[in-house]
Structure 1
Amino acid sequence: MYLKSRLLMIRTRNLTRVGLLAGLILLLSMAFINPRTALAATTGTAPVDHSIFDQLLKKYVDERGQVNYKGFRKDQAEFKKYLELLSRNPPAASWSKNEQMAYWINAYNAFTIQLILDHYPVQSIKDIGSKIQIPFVTTPWAIKFIPVGKEKISLDNIEHGTLRKKFDDPRIHFALVCASKSCPRLRNEAYVAEKLDSQLNDQGRDFLNNPAKNAISPKQASLSKYFDWYKGDWKDKGKSIEEWVNRYSNTKINSSTKISFMDYNWNLNEQ
């Protein structure tokens, strides 16, 4: 009886040592795993790779931001791969702020292109949907055609319900492109977390110094309707429209500058 008890104690002690050793090996191996990979393993989803969209943008968008929609149609199968990638991988809480923002900005721009392709040819995005358009109800931006996770959302949901509400960064208005000539330039590269800050600032400089979109002189500034439509965003946190203009415009304005707003050109941003 004593011998059996002794053997059982030895066996239990050995099993405990094996368990501790296995745990130590696991911890050591995780130290050599890419942190993002390890994080993805615990959260179930890794940040989306935007390289497919990046390649398509380089191929079908020129330096002025004009889009070759016919080219996108020819490459529809490849484009669909990217859209499906977005749909299957909504942002997780473990993603960084920039990873989430890049996802949503790219999603907005990519699904806007797809909306145009679904109704192509059109002269304007506003030709899509109801003849009488009620903001947030019957406009093209209110159509819930974007599958993300287990639900379908609209472009309005992305812009107003997520980007503006969650991230509170007015620079998104320089990046979201509604397929119209008065929109900011569609970059011929995808937004990525590592470069997001510089990309948004570059968009601001490009937009404010384009006289077709913002005609600025020290005495009079004819600004994009964006500065009228989203005036609350520009004035948030004690800032002003003048401060945002001066942050990016080569020509500076002040409180005595007469400000007006340009008519918006909704014609398609097509090459």
Structure 2
Amino acid sequence: MRRIILTLLLASAVGAPLAAFVAPTPGPAPTTVAASIDHGAYDRMLKKYVNDKGLVDYKAWKGNQQELNQYLDLLSKNPPAASWSQAEQMAYWINAYNAYTIKLILNHYPVESIKDIGSKIKIPFVTTPWAAEFFRIGGKKMSLDDIEHGTLRKQYGDPRIHFALVCASISCPRLRNEAYTAAKLNQQLDDQGRDFLNSPAKNKVGKESAQLSKYFDWYKGDWSKNGQSVTKWVHKYASTPMAPTAKITYLDYNWKLNEQ
């Protein structure tokens, strides 16, 4: 009662309406939408150290890693947010896989093959370079396997990622000398598919028979999702049409380093 009387007296003294002293109801707090990151620095590095055939000048890059380390730090501190589009998220993870693969090679360079690094890893239960948790994203320890199998294959279901992820080997798809971006991602993945399927060193496609990359054997389940098949995917990108009844065999995989 005393508080009500005091309020009335104050309102009367200043000639202001009583409503002026009623605190406004607070509105919702403003939300911050995390912006996707700029891959421009990585794009410049790829243009500098990777040629049109996808071969990498690891020797020169090893002597100048500051910009790469800065880019990897940017990736590490800015994991994809739920507000990002699917294309933004996929471009991020593809670039991260390829950039961290390059970093892994540089950490151990010179090597003849990425598989040689496996014997140098002295971590219990870690026998391959893809399983080594040698970087962090969003504070979480991660490996290349985590990006490929735990994130890209698990969350997005687009088998075209296999045309884009490059494990630093000759039989891998060509490492693009440009970064993947959300705006061009679909075009870039289709272009990678055409390049990969029409490279005689990686796939030999004929109408009645084809010698395909091991990718189409290793990831057969991915290529068969949503009513698709290995044959349909090959037919989509290969310049030589492959008959549905074509006999398919698989080429040996060349693990030699994709070095200039």
TM-score, normalized by length of structure 1? 0.86
- Aligned-partner Cα distance in 2 for 1:127–1:150: 28
**Helix, strand or coil for the counterpart of 1:128?**
helix
Shift of 1:46: 2.0
1 or 2, which has the higher helix percentage?
1
- Aligned-partner Cα distance in 2 for 1:53–1:204: 22
* Range with bigger deviation, 205-214 or 122-131: 122-131
Select 1:142's aligned residue among 118, 131, 144: 131
Amino acid at match of 1:209: N
Select 1:55's aligned residue among 34, 41, 44: 44
Partner residue, 1:72? 61
Select 1:5's aligned residue among 2, 7, 11: 11
2:151 is the alignment partner of 1:162: yes
- Asked if structure 1 preserves the Cα contact closer than 8 Å seen for 2:50 and 2:175, the reply is yes
**Helix, strand or coil for the counterpart of 2:160?**
helix
After superposition, the Cα gap between the structure-2 partners of 1:186 and 1:5, relative to the gap in structure 1 and judged at 3 Å, is same
- Aligned-partner Cα distance in 1 for 2:21–2:188: 56
Deviations 1:131-160 (A, max 9, x none): 89xxx9421100000211112110000000
After superposition, the Cα gap between the structure-2 partners of 1:53 and 1:10, relative to the gap in structure 1 and judged at 3 Å, is same
Partner residue, 1:253? 242
Partner residue, 1:173? 162
Amino acid at match of 2:100: F
Answer with 1 or 2: which has the greater Rg.
2
- Asked if structure 1 preserves the Cα contact closer than 8 Å seen for 2:208 and 2:245, the reply is yes
- Aligned-partner Cα distance in 1 for 2:195–2:230: 17
**Helix, strand or coil for the counterpart of 2:16?**
helix
Amino acid at match of 1:243: K
Partner residue, 2:89? 100
Select 1:42's aligned residue among 12, 32, 38: 32
Q: Which structure 1 residue ranges, 5 or more long, are not aligned?
A: 24-37
Deviations 1:166-198 (A, max 9, x none): 000000000000000000000000001111111
What count of residue pairs does the alignment treat as equivalent? 251
Percent sequence identity is 60
Give the ranges of 4+ consecutive aligned residues of structure 1 lying more than 6 Å apart after TM superposition: none
Shift of 1:85: 0.3
- Aligned-partner Cα distance in 1 for 2:133–2:47: 28
2:172 is the alignment partner of 1:183: yes
After superposition, the Cα gap between the structure-2 partners of 1:160 and 1:8, relative to the gap in structure 1 and judged at 3 Å, is farther
Give the aligned CA root-mean-square deviation in angstroms. 2.5
**Helix, strand or coil for the counterpart of 1:10?**
coil
Amino acid at match of 2:12: R
2:232 is the alignment partner of 1:243: yes
- Aligned-partner Cα distance in 2 for 1:267–1:174: 18
* Range with bigger deviation, 183-192 or 3-12: 3-12
Amino acid at match of 1:233: D
**Helix, strand or coil for the counterpart of 1:122?**
coil
Q: Which structure 2 residue ranges, 5 or more long, are not aligned?
A: none
2:132 is the alignment partner of 1:123: no
- Aligned-partner Cα distance in 1 for 2:157–2:67: 33
- Aligned-partner Cα distance in 1 for 2:229–2:15: 75
Shift of 1:71: 2.2
- Aligned-partner Cα distance in 2 for 1:3–1:87: 60
**Helix, strand or coil for the counterpart of 1:81?**
helix
TM-score, normalized by length of structure 2? 0.89
